[in-house]
């Protein structure tokens, strides 16, 4: 009981602080507007003297209150039984503490506001109008009492809902039933045969790929452009995944290899400044090879460094490439700050690509190739050596791994993927310049790998979709886009700290799909 | 009998500190040889010299007559020396069987290009490697745990997995660094039997660093004692137990003269 109270108390304090913070940055007011957009009730008539924005804000705060109550009523670790009373008291306590904290805030800002203290000079978001809205137009005391009651009630309700619905006995039964049904379904001979058959997997992959290939046909030009960008980030993410996710080498200058691929494509195919105008198909492999060679050249001296030192050196290298491309000395060679326009697009049998969809297909093919290669590498002697280096470099040397060679290999292959991405990127945009290769690109690619899931191919794909695709989807939210995006990232990292789809180990001891014949040894060991 | 490993006045210095001081050892093939000594005597440094992590300042290390000085750790492993660590150092986020497969790294050849193309040779080699890893799991008694992450294994299993990983490189000489550290008496006895099995069934020469005198005296055929980097004694377990210099190193001067020899077994 005491433990439950302590947990509820800390839940109340935590949520109180979060709510206060949300008010201080002005988010409680924004939430009213956001929900108004969502419900479309912006211009609805006032109800009981409350504007639609106020009602929306109450809904938003009530949701937080419910969450606080549910959090405050949770079971402590290792607790097996789950009685009603502590859960309800937990929810109520959390709600009460939450309400007291927010009520005090309402009282404080309300009184300050009445005395004409210009709070917004210190906290830009706390405008008199925002305070008025927070107090629902009432006096400070009325506002404080309102918040106290709101959070206490919702806290209790949150505890009730969480215990009754979230952890009720009917739910346990339902989950068990569902699991039984699933097991029975898996035991059917036909299903077992299908699962054991690799052909099934290929058919599923084939259907998925087909579905994905339908998308560019129905998507408009804008969405095709976005899909292309996402896929290029998949290429970059998978390349960096080898370097960071598998080999454990933190490379913060990954954009350099992207730039080398892009500039190779640009200088070899554009009419100016080099007048070469080679074909796209010749420039593409040259870009990839050049990027890989640069990876080797850079790697040879710096890969002896470990951890943070390597990160700093690679970061510097990325900046050197970008600064070189903007420098006057290089203007006659690579176009300088103005960049390189009129980069050639690909042709097939002399026919140029004429729709955005064609290029998306090309990028799809590149992405599939890279996924294939990464998958093969990851499950090989080389991939295992990389992961061993990530886990413990010293021991991996003692296990007979030549770490320098393996690091160089990881660096070069990662760089090659970035080169491919860069070449495709430059050709699709038909223009490239120094501003395409800022440090932020490296940061974004690292974020794709980390948010997606280090060392996991589906994770990196999901990461690219979320980090590059989601901002476009969120464009509907206009001004709040970046803020909502940031909040989503924070929530995601709290929810799945190992990434959206974290890497899983291949089953090697007991072959997959023969699990039906349970090995007798396994049973006795466990 | 062939000498598996020989060191000739091996010396390793860190600045002014001589961590290993002209140590001469000769380890018979197929024997169990222990190196003991008080904390900081230079035992682990000695291991690091043999395995190529440190380059000795003077002296030579001969493995079946071939000098190991100047070789990198992976080259030493390739020649047939493998080791375990005092504090378990598994690849924590890889499965048990993958840990062993990493151990087999130096015995398989597949390059990155072959891995991408899945050439028949590399596919076959990979199958054999997994088969070998399963055998090793079986040998160390971890059947059924192969697909668990190494960090999720119980302590004793982690110790045995570390040995299985070392065996993956098919060593002729295995260096064990306190294999029974942190084990209860029952587990320690198991480990002693297991070390004997390694030698008897796989014909591997064992070099052992150990603090537990029951283990050292119970399974070693010969023992060398290091103190302040120098070898102060070498002999059979019974010779070492009675050696006054060893007792002095462990218990301080005066102990040897003040106590009856039989009562002063270092423990």
B172 and chain A: CB distance < 8 Å anywhere? no
What are the respective helix, strand and coil percentages of chain B, to the nearest 5?
45, 25, 35
Q: Is the pTM of this model over 0.80?
A: no
Longest CA pairwise span in chain A (Å) = 81
Q: A418-422, A477-481, B140-144, B179-183: which has the highest mean pLDDT?
A: A418-422
Indicate the residue of B115, B118, B137 with minimum beta-carbon distance to A509. B137
Using an 8 Å CB-CB cutoff, list chain A residues near B130: 508
- Band of the pLDDT at A28, cuts 50, 70, 90? confident
User: Distance, in angstroms, between A25 CA and closest chain B CA?
Assistant: 40
Q: What is the mean pLDDT of residues A348-376?
A: 86
User: Distances in Å between the alpha carbon of B8 and those of A102, A150, B177?
Assistant: 77, 82, 21
Higher confidence at residue A113 or residue A387? A387
Strand, coil or helix: A320: helix
* Alpha-carbon radius of gyration of chain B: 20
DSSP per-residue letters across A127-173: -HHHHHHHTTTS-HHHHHHHHHHHHHHHHHHHHHHIIIIIS-HHHHH
- Band of the pLDDT at A518, cuts 50, 70, 90? very low
Per-residue burial over A342-354, b if 16 or more Cβ lie within 10 Å, else e, is ebbebeeeeeebe
- Interface confidence (ipTM) of the complex: 0.91
User: Distances in Å between the alpha carbon of A57 and those of A30, A60, A136, A477?
Assistant: 8, 5, 10, 17
Residue B257 is predicted with a pLDDT of 58
Residue A117 is predicted with a pLDDT of 83
B71 and chain A: CB distance < 8 Å anywhere? no
Using an 8 Å CB-CB cutoff, list chain B residues near A401: 74, 102, 105-106
Indicate the residue of A384, A401, A523 with minimum beta-carbon distance to B74. A401
**Exposed/middle/buried for residue A286 (C-beta within 10 Å: 0-12, 13-18, 19+):** middle
- Band of the pLDDT at A477, cuts 50, 70, 90? low
CB A45 within 8 A of CB A91: no
Residue B189 is predicted with a pLDDT of 93
For testing contact with chain A, the best of B47, B147, B165 (most A CBs within 10 A)? B147
Tokens at A494, concatenated:
């709290």
Higher confidence at residue B129 or residue A165? B129
Residue A200 is predicted with a pLDDT of 82
User: Distance, in angstroms, between A26 CA and closest chain B CA?
Assistant: 43
What residues in chain A have their Cβ under 8 A from chain B's Cβ atoms?
373, 376-377, 380-385, 387-388, 391-392, 394-403, 409, 413, 505-510, 519, 521-526
Q: What is the pLDDT of residues A316-336, one digit of tens each?
A: 999 999 999 888 888 888 888
Using an 8 Å CB-CB cutoff, list chain A residues near B80: none
B139 and chain A: CB distance < 8 Å anywhere? no
Phi, psi of B8 (to 5 degrees): -120, 115
User: Distances in Å between the alpha carbon of A51 and those of A429, A514, B156?
Assistant: 47, 63, 67
Q: What is the mean pLDDT of residues A279-293?
A: 95
Residue of B nearest to A518 (CA): B144
CB contact under 8 A, B144 and A526: yes
User: Distance, in angstroms, between A374 CA and closest chain B CA?
Assistant: 8
Tokens at A357, concatenated:
């969809």
| Full pLDDT tens readout for chain B, 267 residues | 799 999 999 999 998 899 999 999 999 999 999 999 988 899 999 999 999 999 999 999 999 999 999 999 999 999 999 999 999 999 999 999 999 999 999 999 889 999 999 999 999 999 999 999 999 999 999 999 999 999 999 998 999 999 999 999 999 999 999 999 989 999 999 999 999 999 999 999 999 999 889 999 999 999 999 999 999 999 999 999 888 888 888 877 666 555 554 444 444
* Percent with pLDDT over 90 in chain A: 40
Q: What is the pLDDT of residues A219-233, one digit of tens each?
A: 888 888 889 999 999
Using an 8 Å CB-CB cutoff, list chain A residues near B72: 397, 402
Residue of A nearest to B111 (CA): A382
B84 and chain A: CB distance < 8 Å anywhere? no
The rounded distance, in Å, linking the Cα atoms of B73 and B111 is 20
Residue of B nearest to A524 (CA): B144
Q: What is the mean pLDDT of residues A432-444?
A: 91
Using an 8 Å CB-CB cutoff, list chain B residues near A388: 91, 94, 102, 105
CB A397 within 8 A of CB A306: no
Residue B22 is predicted with a pLDDT of 93
CB A500 within 8 A of CB A459: yes
Using an 8 Å CB-CB cutoff, list chain A residues near B48: none
Tokens at A333, concatenated:
């060679």
* Alpha-carbon radius of gyration of chain A: 29
Residue of A nearest to B110 (CA): A381
Q: What is the mean pLDDT of residues A167-177?
A: 78
- Band of the pLDDT at A526, cuts 50, 70, 90? very low
CB contact under 8 A, A521 and B118: no
CB contact under 8 A, B94 and A510: no
- Return mean pLDDT, chain A: 85
- Band of the pLDDT at A517, cuts 50, 70, 90? very low
Higher confidence at residue A81 or residue B233? B233
Q: What is the mean pLDDT of residues A379-407?
A: 94
Lowest mean pLDDT among A30-34, A511-515, B254-258: A511-515
Tokens at B49, concatenated:
């010299």
């Amino acid at each position: 009981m005491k433990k439950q109270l302590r947990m509820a108390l800390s839940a109340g304090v935590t949520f109180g602080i979060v709510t206060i913070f949300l008010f201080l940055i002005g988010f409680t007011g924004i939430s009213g507007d956001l929900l108004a957009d969502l419900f479309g009730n912006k211009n609805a008539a006032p109800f009981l003297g409350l504007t639609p924005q106020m009602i929306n804000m109450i809904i938003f705060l009530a949701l937080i209150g419910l969450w606080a109550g549910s959090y405050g009523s949770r079971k402590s670790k290792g607790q097996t039984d789950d009685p009603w009373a502590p859960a309800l008291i937990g929810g109520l306590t959390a709600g009460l503490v939450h309400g007291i904290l927010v009520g005090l805030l309402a009282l404080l800002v309300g009184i300050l506001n009445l005395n004409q203290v210009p709070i917004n000079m210190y906290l830009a978001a706390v405008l008199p109008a925002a305070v008025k809205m927070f107090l629902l137009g009432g006096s400070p005391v009325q506002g404080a009492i309102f918040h106290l009651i709101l959070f206490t009630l919702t806290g209790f309700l949150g505890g009730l809902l969480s215990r009754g619905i979230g952890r009720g006995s009917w739910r346990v039964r339902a989950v068990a039933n569902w699991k039984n049904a699933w097991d029975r379904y898996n035991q059917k001979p036909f299903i077992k045969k299908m699962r054991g058959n690799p052909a099934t997997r290929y058919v599923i992959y084939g259907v998925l790929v087909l579905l994905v290939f339908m998308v560019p046909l129905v998507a408009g030009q804008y969405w095709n452009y976005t899909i292309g960008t996402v896929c290029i980030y998949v290429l970059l993410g998978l390349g960096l995944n080898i370097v960071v996710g598998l080999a454990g080498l933190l490379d913060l200058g990954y954009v350099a290899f992207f730039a080398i691929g892009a500039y190779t494509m640009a200088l070899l195919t554009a009419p100016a400044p080099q007048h070469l105008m080679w074909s796209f198909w010749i420039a593409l492999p040259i870009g990839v090879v050049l990027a890989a060679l640069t990876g080797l050249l850079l790697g040879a001296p710096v890969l002896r460094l470990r951890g943070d030192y390597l990160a700093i050196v690679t970061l510097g290298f990325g900046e050197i490439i970008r600064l070189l491309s903007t420098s006057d000395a290089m203007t006659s060679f690579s176009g300088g700050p103005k960049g390189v326009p009129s980069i050639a697009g690909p042709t097939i049998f002399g026919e140029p690509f004429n729709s955005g969809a064609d290029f998306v297909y090309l990028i799809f093919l590149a992405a599939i190739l890279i996924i294939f290669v990464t998958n093969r590498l990851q499950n090989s002697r080389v991939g295992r050596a990389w992961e061993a280096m990530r886990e413990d470099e010293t021991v991996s040397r003692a296990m007979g791994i030549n770490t320098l060679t393996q690091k160089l290999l990881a660096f070069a292959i990662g760089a090659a993927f970035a080169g491919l991405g860069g070449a495709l990127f430059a050709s699709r945009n038909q223009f490239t310049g120094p501003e395409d290769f800022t440090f932020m690109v490296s940061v974004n690619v690292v974020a794709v790998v980390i948010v997606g899931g280090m060392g996991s191919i589906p994770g990196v794909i999901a990461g690219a979709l979320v980090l590059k695709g989601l901002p476009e989807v969120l464009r509907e939210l206009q001004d709040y886009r970046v803020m909502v995006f940031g909040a989503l990232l924070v929530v995601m990292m709290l929810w799945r700290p190992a990434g959206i789809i974290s890497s899983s180990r291949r089953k090697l001891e007991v072959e997959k799909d023969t699990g039906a014949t349970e090995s007798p040894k396994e049973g006795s060991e466990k | 009998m062939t000498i598996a490993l020989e060191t000739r006045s091996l010396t390793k210095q860190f600045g002014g500190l001589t961590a290993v001081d002209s140590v001469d050892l000769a380890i018979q093939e197929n024997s169990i040889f222990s190196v003991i000594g008080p904390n900081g005597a230079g035992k682990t440094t000695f291991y690091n010299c043999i395995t190529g992590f440190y380059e000795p300042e003077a002296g030579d290390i001969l493995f079946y007559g071939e000098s190991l000085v100047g070789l990198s750790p992976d080259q030493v492993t390739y020649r047939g020396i493998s080791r375990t660590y005092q504090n378990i150092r598994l690849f924590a986020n890889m499965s048990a069987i993958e840990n062993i497969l990493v151990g087999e790294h130096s015995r398989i050849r597949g390059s990155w290009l072959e891995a991408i193309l899945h050439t028949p040779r590399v596919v076959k080699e990979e199958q054999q490697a997994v088969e070998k890893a399963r055998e090793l799991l079986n040998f160390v008694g971890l059947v059924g745990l192969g697909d668990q992450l190494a960090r999720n294994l119980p302590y004793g299993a982690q110790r045995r997995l570390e040995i299985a990983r070392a065996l993956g490189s098919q060593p002729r000489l295995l260096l064990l660094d306190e294999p029974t550290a942190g084990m209860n008496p029952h587990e320690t006895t198991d480990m002693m039997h297991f070390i004997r099995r390694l030698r008897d069934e796989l014909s591997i020469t064992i070099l052992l660093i150990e603090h537990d005198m029951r283990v050292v005296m119970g399974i070693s055929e010969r023992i060398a004692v290091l103190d302040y980097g120098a070898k102060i004694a070498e002999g059979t377990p019974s010779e070492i137990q009675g050696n006054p210099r060893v007792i002095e190193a462990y218990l301080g001067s005066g102990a040897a003269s003040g106590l009856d020899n039989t009562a002063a077994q270092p423990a």
